[in-house]
């Protein structure tokens, strides 16, 4: 239960960190909050030769709204996301998702970028970011590219990040006008890995019909339920509608069986959570409309 040897670097600027990442390529691992990486190292499931500690790179730690877009530096702590008044006001779904991550002691260290780059299937932030249509800014020495959250996750614990590349910023666009969002999950014990999760965003038109719908479920990578989203458009929110949409979203949903839950249970749980997330998003969309001067 002790990590294998590694060479340790503690850069203080992003340029310096990118230089080290480029120099050591796939022999290097960036260390953010360490709440997933260090357990893997303690178990010796991974043995990076070079560990690049990003905790001293102050320019990667920020949380601010610019013209309605939320910009999150990659090493911003999950607890900051949870405590931010701006997040609670503009992106309540994100605050809800953050509050499900592990425990307060974990969120005090765990980072937003770290959780996304780790890309664990039951993780909350990947599902939330796909639902919010966030973009990831990836940096390497002399290079920068922006990838949509939906394209960032490739498979189990695998993203589009190349050796030498770092996730530097996550930018979350504003929700559509008068939209409501919700994040729901179920786990065996409070703070455990999620067995299933769902996130939804709904916006209504002046007649109360759904004009914009997003629904995402947990899976090996976050799964956007495109067919169910199309089905919802133009319809009026009702319990029956959301039940039907949740069924459509999950009838062919691929889920894994393991010691914690069967695939069948996960599929059923995803359907129940999808229904609840849609219902809560609709209630919040109505609240938005009522709260906004017309």
Partner 1 sequence: MSTRQVRVTINGREYTGEVEPRKLLTDFLRDDLGLTGTHVGCEHGVCGACTILFNGEPVRSCLLFAVQAHGADLKTVEGIAPNATELDPLQEKFWELHGLQCGFCTPGILLTAEALLKEIPNPSEVEIREWLSGNLCRCTGYQNIVTAIQEAAKTLSERRT
Q: Which phi-psi region, left, alpha or beta, contains residue 157 (left: φ > 0; alpha: ψ -120 to 50)?
A: left
CB of residue 14 vs partner 1: minimum separation in angstroms?
18
Per the CB < 8 A criterion, the answer to whether 95 and 107 are in contact is: no
- Beta strands in 151-230, from DSSP E residues, in sequence order: 153-155, 158-159, 166-172, 179-186, 196-204, 210-217, 223-224
Q: Which is nearer to partner 1, 36 or 178 (CB)?
A: 36
Q: How far is the CB of 281 from partner 1 (least distance, A)?
A: 24
Nearer of residues 5 and 290 to partner 1, judged by Cβ = 5
Sign of the dihedral through C-alpha 223, 172, 126, 47: positive
Report the interface residues with partner 1, using CB under 8 A.
1-8, 10, 34-35, 38-39, 42-43, 51, 53, 55, 79, 102-106, 108-109, 189-191
CB of 103 to partner 1, least distance (A): 3
| Nearest residue (CB) to partner 1, 38 versus 160 | 38
Q: Tell me the closest approach of the beta carbon of residue 287 to partner 1, in angstroms.
A: 24
| CB closer to partner 1 out of 104 and 209 | 104
Contacts of 199 (CB under 8 A, 6+ apart): 93, 97, 127, 128, 130, 131, 181, 182, 183, 184, 214, 215, 216, 277
Among 250, 114, 99, smallest CA distance to 187 is for 99
In whole angstroms, how close is the CB of 44 to partner 1 at the nearest point? 11
Q: How many residues does the chain have?
A: 294
Which is closer to partner 1, CB of 4 or CB of 233? 4
At its nearest, how many Å lie between partner 1 and the CB of residue 18? 20
Rounded Cα–Cα distance for residues 135 and 148 (Å)? 4
Q: Which is nearer to partner 1, 190 or 290 (CB)?
A: 190
């Amino acid at each position: 239960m002790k990590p294998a040897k590694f060479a340790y670097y503690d850069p203080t600027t992003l340029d310096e960190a990118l230089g080290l990442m480029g120099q050591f390529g796939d022999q290097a691992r960036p260390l953010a909050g360490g709440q997933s990486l260090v357990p893997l190292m303690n178990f010796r499931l991974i043995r990076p030769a070079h560990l690049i500690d990003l905790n001293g790179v102050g320019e990667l730690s920020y949380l601010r709204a610019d013209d309605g877009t939320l910009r999150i530096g990659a090493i911003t702590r999950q607890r900051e996301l949870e405590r931010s008044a701006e997040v609670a006001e503009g992106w309540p779904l994100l605050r809800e998702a953050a509050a499900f991550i592990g425990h307060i002691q974990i969120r005090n260290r765990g980072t937003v970028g770290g959780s996304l780059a780790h890309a664990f299937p039951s993780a909350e932030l990947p599902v939330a970011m796909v639902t919010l249509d966030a973009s990831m800014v990836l940096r390497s020495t002399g290079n920068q590219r922006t990838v949509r959250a939906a394209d960032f996750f490739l498979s189990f614990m695998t993203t589009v990040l190349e050796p030498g590349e770092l996730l530097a910023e996550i930018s979350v666009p504003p929700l559509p006008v008068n939209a409501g969002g919700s994040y729901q999950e179920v786990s065996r014990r409070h703070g455990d890995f999620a067995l299933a999760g769902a996130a939804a965003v709904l916006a209504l038109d002046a007649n109360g019909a759904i004009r914009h719908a997003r629904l995402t479920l947990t899976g090996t990578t976050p799964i956007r339920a495109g067919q169910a989203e199309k089905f919802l458009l133009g319809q009026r929110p009702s319990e029956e509608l959301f039940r039907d949409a949740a069924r459509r979203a999950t009838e062919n949903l691929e889920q894994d069986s393991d010691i914690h839950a069967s695939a069948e249970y996960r599929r059923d749980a995803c359907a129940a959570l999808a229904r609840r997330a849609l219902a809560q998003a609709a209630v919040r969309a109505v609240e938005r409309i009522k709260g906004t001067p017309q």
